[in-house]
Amino acid sequence: MSWLVLVVSGIFEAVWATALGKSEGFTRLGPSVVFGLGLLLSMGGLAYAMRGLPVGTAYAVWVGIGAVLTVVYSMATGEAAVSAVKLLLLGGIVACVIGLKLVG
């Protein structure tokens, strides 16, 4: 159960990170509210997952999921360019996250 909560929390990390960028310094209400809710769900889930997982592994997986999804979202929406090198590097992050799960 801790792993499932951790993955969902990583998804919410990407949500709040994206919303933070779209809030324009908290001057836009909608993205600011999404940021706050995403942050609460993400941090709450991370805290829950850390009760059953090593802190270092849980944090690395959480950050990895959030980082990859944030970059993928920005590439999918055209905010960031897509390149083979970027995709290869994102694949490396995913491989490392999976590796942490397997050796943990």
Q: How much is the pLDDT for 100?
A: 84
Q: Report d(CA 27, CA 87) in Å as an integer.
A: 33
Q: How much is the pLDDT for 77?
A: 96
With beta carbons less than 8 A apart as the criterion, state whether 15 and 24 touch: no
pTM over 0.95: no
| pLDDT, tens only, 26-85 | 999 999 999 999 999 999 999 999 999 999 999 999 999 999 999 999 999 999 999 999
Question: C-alpha 31: how far from its chain's center?
Answer: 17
